Amino acid sequence: MVSKHTKIINPMGMHMRPAQLFVAAITPFKSNVTIKYGDKTIVAKSIMNLMAACMKQGSEIEVICEGPDEQECLDKAVALIESGLGE
C-alpha cells in the first residue's frame, strides 16, 4: 500500500467532468484506489462516490493505492489531481 496527501485545486471542486476524467484515467490500473477526505473513505474508481463526497477547492485528501501497480497508479492519480484535471 502506498499513499500521498494532496489538495483539490479545481475552482469548482471534484464535480462531474473532473471526476469522469479521473475515473477514466485510473480505472485501467489493477490496484484498488481510495481517497480519504475528512472522515470519509471514498472508492475512487466510482464517479458517483467522488461527486457525492463534495470535495471542494482546497480540500485536503489522501490518495491510497493498493495492488500490483500501486506506485504507478498513485503517481498518475496524484498528478491528475495536482494538475487540476484540465481546469
Q: What is the mean pLDDT of each run of 10 residues along the chain (87 residues)?
A: 96 91 96 96 95 93 98 96 86
Establish how many alpha carbons lie within 13 A of residue 24's alpha carbon, considering only the half-sphere containing its beta carbon.
7
Which one, of 16, 17, 12, 14, lies nearest residue 40 by Cα? 14
Q: Is 15 a catalytic residue?
A: yes
pTM: 0.93
- For 37-52, how does the pLDDT look when each residue is reduced to its tens digit (9 = 90+)? 999 999 999 999 999 9
**Catalytic site residue from 15, 40, 45, 56:** 15
pLDDT value at position 87? 72
In eight-state DSSP terms, residue 7 is E
Under DSSP, is residue 5 helix (H, G, I), strand (E, B) or coil? strand
